[in-house]
Amino acid sequence: MAMNEQHDGPLIAAGIALGVGLGGFVDGIALHQLLQWHNMLSSRLPPDNLVDMKINMMWDGLFHVLTWLMTVVGLALLWRAGGRSDVPWRGRTLLGGLALGWGLFNFVEGLVDHEIIGIHHVHPGAHELAWDLGFLGSGLFLVGLGTVLIIAARR
């Protein structure tokens, strides 16, 4: 490796993991808890009685465990990247990784959970597909934004 060779991969990886975790938290906190538009299993097990609501809450909790673990992984990767002299600390690179991770979360979770297995939808009922497509679109937008920020930081 050349003396001054720099590698932004570790910072991007940390940003992606943090973006997946934090994006999942935004989804779970905003859509599941505050707005109460859906729960993890609400299309398969509508939460219209106490038992089904408790089951949905448990699955929402497991979802939050996963997002918490991704955030911890992201922090560990960020810590490791911070200890390397060959990793350039650029805000745009980290922000790009965060946007990329959040976008990947929205797109993959939206495609799998909303469209393929259909365990829930963003906002069930009227215009359900439009809400789901908007969520997928937000994922693609964030992936594009993250990519642009990472490329801009390398210049």
Would you say residue 2 lies in a domain?
no
What is 35-52 written as a DSSP string?
A: S----TTTTTS---SHHH
pLDDT band at 1 (very low <50, low <70, confident <90, very high): very low
Number of domains present in the structure of the chain: 1
The answer to whether residue 3 scores a pLDDT higher than 80 is: no
Reported as a pLDDT band with limits 50, 70 and 90, residue 4 is low
CB-CB contact of 29 with 108 (8 Å):
no
Q: Report d(CA 142, CA 139) in Å as an integer.
A: 5
- Cα gap 18→80, rounded to integer Å: 14
- The pLDDT of 119-136, averaged and rounded, is 97
Is the pLDDT at 7 greater than 60? The verdict is yes
Whether 123 is in a domain gets the answer: yes
**Confidence band for 6, pLDDT divided at 50, 70 and 90:** confident
C-beta neighbour count of 58 within 10 angstroms = 13
- Residue 47: domain span: 9-154
